[in-house]
Amino acid sequence: ENCLQPNFQRPKEALEAYGVDALALTGNFAVKGVQWALLKSNDGVLHKAKVGSRIGLFYGKITQISTDSITIEQLLPDGAGCWQRKTTTMTTASKAGE
Q: Is residue 82 part of a domain?
A: yes
Q: What are the CA-CA distances from residue 19 to residues 4, 35, 41 (Å)?
A: 21, 22, 9
- Per-residue pLDDT tens for 7-64? 999 999 999 999 999 999 999 999 999 999 999 999 999 999 999 999 999 999 999 9
Contacts of residue 45, defined as CB under 8 A and 6 or more positions apart, other chains included, come to none
Q: Are 31 and 38 in contact (CB under 8 A)?
A: no
Confidence of residue 2 (pLDDT cuts 50, 70, 90): confident
Higher pLDDT, 98 or 50: 50
Q: What is the pLDDT of residue 98?
A: 44
Confidence of residue 94 (pLDDT cuts 50, 70, 90): low
Q: Is residue 4 part of a domain?
A: no
Q: Is residue 32 part of a domain?
A: yes
Terminus-to-terminus CA distance in the chain, angstroms?
34
Q: Are 74 and 53 in contact (CB under 8 A)?
A: no
Q: Is residue 9 part of a domain?
A: no
Q: What is the pLDDT of residue 47?
A: 98
The CATH number of the domain holding residue 87 is: 2.30.30.830
Q: Is residue 3 part of a domain?
A: no
Q: Is residue 8 part of a domain?
A: no
Q: What is the pLDDT of residue 93?
A: 75
Give the domain extent around 80: 14-91
How many domains, in total, are found in the chain? 1
> Smallest Cα–Cα separation from 12: which of 72, 73, 64, 60?
60
Q: Is residue 97 part of a domain?
A: no
Q: Is residue 2 part of a domain?
A: no
